[in-house]
Amino acid sequence: MTLFAPIPTLETERLTLRGPIESDFEHLAVFFADKDRSWGFGGPLDRTKAWRWFASIIGHWALRGFGFWTVTDKITSEVYGLCGIWEPEGCPEPEIGWVMFAGSEGKGLAFEAAIAARTHAYDTWKMPALSSNIFPGNTRSIALAERLGATFEKEFQSVSHGTELLYRHPSAGVTL
């Protein structure tokens, strides 16, 4: 029995979504150190807490068989952010989430990565439904969720972050 199945690699027109590697941590540490950028993802976090968060997303793959990919440029391998599916303890269901690092916004990269992740979740993992849990006031994430076809369903109390907004994604087989 193996604890850790290989993390699949996904490709889109411009992107490669691959498993996290240790050098990705520096990008995440910079992201979490910036309170204006990371507040919508539970930040800011110091390096030790950011490292633990990073280790948890890798461990999530081992425990659940799915998780966050590192989003990179298909040609240059530049790291743009993270995107994927996760369901940590206390989460009401699998959710699709995204984090784009400085300089990666406004280019449609998060949308492209999220479509790839969601399609893989529905088509390969046969997940029946996905949501995105977004902090109130995170207008950029709300706009992206809506662009992905997700609709506001309800407010709920997250075990780790307090009030969050649950956006329901279209079911498998629904195209935009």
pLDDT of residue 4: 66
Amino acid identity for residue 164 in this structure: E
pLDDT of residue 60: 94
Q: pLDDT-derived band of residue 88, with 50, 70 and 90 as boundaries?
A: confident
Instruction: Please state, in angstroms and as integers, the Cα–Cα distance from residue 10 to each residue in 57, 119, 134, 159, following that order.
Output: 17, 10, 24, 31
**What per-residue confidence (pLDDT) applies to 175?**
59
CB 7 within 8 A of CB 57: no
Rounded to an integer, what distance in angstroms lies between the CA atom of residue 94 and that of residue 102? 26
- Read off the pLDDT of residues 114-135 as tens digits, 9 standing for 90 and up: 999 999 999 999 999 999 999 9
The per-residue pLDDT for range 61-87, each reduced to its tens digit, is 999 999 999 999 999 999 999 999 999
The pLDDT tens digits for 34-46 are 999 998 888 999 9
Q: Give the model confidence (pLDDT) of 152-169 as tens digits.
A: 999 887 777 678 899 999
Helices (H), the chain: 25-33, 35-38, 47-64, 109-123, 139-147
Q: What is the pTM of this model?
A: 0.93
Give the pLDDT confidence score for residue 1 in this predicted structure: 37
- Domains along the chain with CATH numbers: 10-127 (3.40.630.30)
pLDDT at 12 over 60: yes
